[in-house]
Amino acid sequence: MRITVLAGGVGAARFLGGLKRAAPDAEITVIGNTGDDITLFGLRVCPDLDTVMYTLGGGINTEQGWGRADESFTIRAELDAYDASPDWFTLGDRDFATHILRSQLLASGQPLSAVTEVLCRRWQPGVRLLPMSDDPVETHVVLSDEAGRRTVVHFQEWWVRMRAETPAAEITAVGAAQAVPAPGVLDAIGGADLLLFPPSNPVVSIGTILAVPGIRAAVAAKTVVGVSPIIGGSPVRGMADACLAAIGVATSAAAVGAHYGPGLINGWLVDEQDKAAADDPALAGIEVRALPLYMRDLPATTAIARAAVDLALELARGQA
């Protein structure tokens, strides 16, 4: 069985841990969001790719959900001694090594997909990890003050420094419209038996991947099951509500399912608290199933992933 997953960071990485257990014989390809990528101190940092790679490879800081386990911060302290900015994004020493090597390989002319393959040779994540594109795409956030003055910040500055507390007037994936899917991406979608959307941010993770020309149409042609990142009106993790507000979508499992719509997804898993979504006319044409969706531990996460695969197989059979 070939399963392709569109992935953001922490939520996707945890879901994938469960998916590997739920479908141990499946060939899993992960298409990672690169809109969160940022260049800091001359180094290219790819938070979502690294979060998936470290989590599945056993190197993640499990409490934080991002960054390396057993981390030290000597380089950061030295940068602070120089008053080097930005000081709001913490990179640890072990993590720095990844960014140094990635940047060196990129500078030598290798595309991000090839560089990611090199990094994964060490981590052996047990999935094929592809960036959505080799072309640079960066998510920017437009902020507007009371006087209507607009400023634009990188997504990471809004997310990490500002904790997404200032409402976003607009969120744009700069470069997405000109980007080309990375080698293997469209084949991994077209050749998949089923596609899954983990409980990732629908705007800045899944939405950004879908913004790369060709990806949305390829996904829409397949059987897709999504897992709601919203439970009982709140994001399971992170500040997805701030992103949804920017595109005028309510923070509810039903609204996010309807935002994807029946043209894109065939099945939608919601938490038991949100089971009323099954009768919501906004979700007509989408098969909605309610089950416990908190990814508390590996057994709970495996059960969620199994439910997603089972629903996708059931829907694919119905379509055949």
Q: By CB under 6 A, name the binding residues for ligand FO1.
A: 8-9, 36, 45, 47-48, 50-51, 66-67, 89-91, 95, 156, 159-160
Q: Pick the closer one to ligand FO1 by CB: 45 or 254.
A: 45
Q: Which two tokens stand for residue 246?
A: 């920017």
C-alpha to C-alpha distances, 179 to 138, 144, 200, 275, nearest whole angstrom: 11, 27, 21, 38
From the list 175, 162, 170, the residue with the least C-alpha distance to 141 is: 170
How near is the Cβ of 237 to ligand FO1 at its closest, in Å?
9
How near is the Cβ of 164 to ligand FO1 at its closest, in Å?
10
Q: Pick the closer one to ligand FO1 by CB: 161 or 216.
A: 161
Residue 110, burial from CB neighbour count under 10 angstroms (0-12, 13-18, 19+): middle
How near is the Cβ of 59 to ligand FO1 at its closest, in Å?
11
How near is the Cβ of 248 to ligand FO1 at its closest, in Å?
21
3-state SS track over 102-145? HHHHHHCCCCHHHHHHHHHHHHCCCCEEEECECCCCEEEEEEEC
The C-alpha atoms of residue 239 and residue 201 are separated, in whole angstroms, by 9
How near is the Cβ of 162 to ligand FO1 at its closest, in Å?
11
Residue type, 101: L
Q: Pick the closer one to ligand FO1 by CB: 8 or 199.
A: 8
The most distant pair of C-alpha atoms in the chain lies apart, rounded to whole Å, by: 63
Residues 6+ apart with CB under 8 A from 2: 26, 27, 29, 188, 191, 192, 193
Q: Pick the closer one to ligand FO1 by CB: 156 or 302.
A: 156
Q: Pick the closer one to ligand FO1 by CB: 9 or 235.
A: 9
Q: Pick the closer one to ligand FO1 by CB: 41 or 66.
A: 66
How near is the Cβ of 160 to ligand FO1 at its closest, in Å?
4
Q: Pick the closer one to ligand FO1 by CB: 228 or 266.
A: 228
The C-alpha atoms of residue 204 and residue 308 are separated, in whole angstroms, by 22
How near is the Cβ of 279 to ligand FO1 at its closest, in Å?
32
Which long-range CB contacts under 8 A does 275-281 form with residues at least 24 apart?
Answer: 277/252, 277/253, 280/254
How near is the Cβ of 37 to ligand FO1 at its closest, in Å?
9
Q: Pick the closer one to ligand FO1 by CB: 8 or 267.
A: 8
The C-alpha atoms of residue 269 and residue 221 are separated, in whole angstroms, by 20
Q: Which two tokens stand for residue 126?
A: 């047990």
The C-alpha atoms of residue 109 and residue 20 are separated, in whole angstroms, by 33
